[in-house]
Structure 1
Amino acid sequence: MLSYQHGYHAGNFADVHKHLILSMMLQSLTRKDKPLSYLETHSGRAMYDLSDEQAQKNQEFQSGISKLWQAGLKGTEVYCEAVTAQNTSGELAFYPGSPSLAQHFARANDKLMLMELHPQESQVLKRHFRQDSRVAVHQRDGYEGVLAMLPPKPNRGMVLIDPAYEDKSEYDQVVAFIKRAKQLWPNGSYAIWYPLLEANRWKSMKHKLQRTSIRNILCSEIEINPADAGGMYGSGMLMVNPPWPLEDNIRATMPGVLSTLAEGAAVDRLEWLAPE
């Protein structure tokens, strides 16, 4: 399905949760002086103009990145610096999507391979990166495209799996994808984002992953609103082969993030879905 447009939700609380953890992972992976590969199944566009019609419709960024960016919380510096790099005027005018965050952390010998099936989003993505030889943009199915490139060269790095979950079958697709990807690239790190919705299909996805042979799966979930509030009330991230010291960083940082973002009671969970 190609109707989803992330521009309406850019910079919301789920983006903050997802991209903060992504930034932590990329920071950890780039500590070693060895090149890495970064791959995405659903890239979207690289940059979101927060003044455009989509972002302004619901202004979800106001309760997400806008709050965090001004808070100056310990542990969020690297993520907020990546956002600041796109807002040199000192005002929050643009929000970097995950491809731009990956580009921010990428070094000279790193490689970025981005999949985006939506024709318009793919063209925007290609224009954005046209002068960066480290980045390859592919207009193709993300699951098929990433699997075709595994194991990548360089043979260390990570994959971000970030679908819209418009179709309920997407949850099973994610499980099937990660099982196959782990076979092809066992030493890669993987990050899977998912929305917390009242239908609870995300719980089934987690249970199915637990029943696979895949180990070393860390799970971070936040709940900003009550589960019966309607719509997305929380955000989840599964990290397979998480780089050190990701667990410690999330545990130290996420409570402060939630106290900044949530207006009422909030829930922060960090647990091993499948220990090593």
Structure 2
Amino acid sequence: MNYRHAFHAGNHADVLKHWVLTRVLAHLQRKATPFRAIDTHAGLGFYDLTADEAGRTGEWHDGIGRLDAPFPDPVEALLAPYRAAVAAVRARHGDTIYPGSPAIIREFLRPGDQGVFVELHPADGAVLHGRYNQDPRTKVLALDGWTALPALIPPKERRGLVLIDPPYEVPGEIERLGRDLLKAVGKWATGTYLAWYPIKDVAAVDRMAAALDAALPRPALRLDLLIHRPDPARLSGSGLIVVNPPWTLREEADAVLPALAERLAQGGYGAFRCAALGPPA
């Protein structure tokens, strides 16, 4: 519970995670029926990139800070919902703000849709509550995210997504991500799940993905973005397991991930992976 995302807001991992999140949310909006978006480790909601925490690490300079120059038109078309969400949050809160996943989710909520934001850290949870609990479309819960995951599904809407983005402070959380994701899919088989992980121990990530590939009853994608050569001594990149992905996401990721890998690469190395897991779609 010591992890504070304010130090890492807007970095390369946020770019990947939030781009995929916006693609899933845009897909959910295509149907008129309401959906629910659950964020199990929500943080503050949004972050000031000029604040002390972000200034100490400067990680955002090599993340969102590298996206100012436009990409080729096909890539820009797929980045548009992400860029629009960032712009909308900045228009509301200031030009130096970077939106966390709760702020991005709220930009996509229509009347009747619901966002549920879970945060255990007392100080961060209090800030999150003040920012979002007055909106009738959003609700903030002070719970452990791992405990909240099975408790909050399936939602009454029966449509929606779950973003699982733990801090990885405890050994074995990569393995827990795979186990708890399988349990969640068993309880709510039709929901879309976005399960984020850091890439430090590549072998641990590969084992988790292989176990999911063998056991998942639903189709999934593994999306990795590497900005350093793999090295267990540092964060080399990050990834997402997306269960029940929108049918267009594989093609979209094949277009966007190479562009991000090239733009965000550090030390002359950038790489990506887009692989199917589980049964065929």
The two structures have a TM-score, normalised by structure 1, of 0.94
Find the aligned partners of 1:99 and 1:41 in 2 and give their Cα distance: 10
Give the number of the structure whose residues are more often helix, by fraction: 2
What is the match of residue 255 of structure 2? Answer: 252
SS at match of 2:22: helix
Q: Which amino acid aligns with 2:142?
A: Q
* Map of 1:266 onto structure 2: 270
Cα offset, 1:114, TM superposition: 1.4
Tell me the TM-score normalized by structure 2: 0.92
The AA in structure 2 aligned to 1:8 is F
Q: Which runs of 5+ in 1 are unaligned?
A: none
Deviation of residue 199 (structure 1)? 6.1
**Does 1:6 pair with 2:5?**
yes
Q: Which whole-Å deviations, capped at 9, do the CAs of 1:72-95 have from their partners, x for residues lacking one?
A: 551211101111112239984000
Q: 1:82 aligns with which of 80, 85, 93?
A: 85
Aligned partner letter, 1:106: L
Which of 101, 107, 110 is the equivalent residue of 1:104? 107
Distance 1:229 1:181, change over 3 A: closer
Tell me if 1:219 matches 2:222: yes
Query: What SS does the corresponding residue of 1:71 show, helix, strand or coil?
Result: coil
- The Cα shift of 1:134 comes to 1.0
Write the distance in 2 (CA, Å) between the matches of 1:195 and 1:150. 25
1:149 to 149, 152, 156: 152
Q: Identify the residue that residue 46 of structure 1 maps to in structure 2.
A: 45
Asked if 1:122 is matched to 2:121, the reply is no
AA matched with 1:20: W
Distance in 2 between residues matched to 1:198 and 1:181, nearest whole Å: 24
Instruction: State the AA in 1 paired with 2:32.
Output: D
Distance 1:195 1:69 in 2: 25
User: What stretches of structure 2 of length at least 5 have no aligned partner?
Assistant: none
CA distance in 1, matches of 2:51, 2:137: 29
Q: Kindly report structure 1 stretches of 4+ aligned residues shifted beyond 4 Å.
A: 89-92
